[in-house]
Amino acid sequence: MMKYDDITVMKAISICFKPYLKSEEAMIYCNLGRTQLTKKCEAFGVFKNANGYYKRADLDLMLSASSLKTDVLVKGIKL
């Protein structure tokens, strides 16, 4: 029988190599709670796809504090 720590380590390793993450996996990957993840995703324009998964590349950009969708929108508007 596997120990809890072993399962946690295996889950963390599998998350690192998956291109799309479920909500629970995204919370672990970003080290945020459910409401914190939701607020941060809304602020940076990261949304779930039709299947309910987050794109890991978008989460990486969000964690690096670069705006995703807002850069595209602002470039089209003359200020």
Task: Summarize pLDDT for 38-54 with one digit per residue, the tens.
Answer: 999 998 889 999 999 99
Let me know if 67 is exposed, middle or buried by CB neighbors in 10 A (0-12, 13-18, 19+).
middle
The DSSP string of 6-21 is: HHHHHHHHHHHT-SEE
Print the domain residue range for 22: 4-75
CATH number reported for the structural domain that contains residue 35 in this entry: 1.10.238
How many independent structural domains does the chain possess? 1
pTM over cut 0.85? no
The pLDDT, as a whole number, for residue 1 is 67
Q: At which residue do the structure tokens 């945020």 appear?
A: 32
Percent of the chain with pLDDT over 90: 33
The pLDDT, as a whole number, for residue 78 is 47
Calpha distance 74→79 (Å, rounded): 8
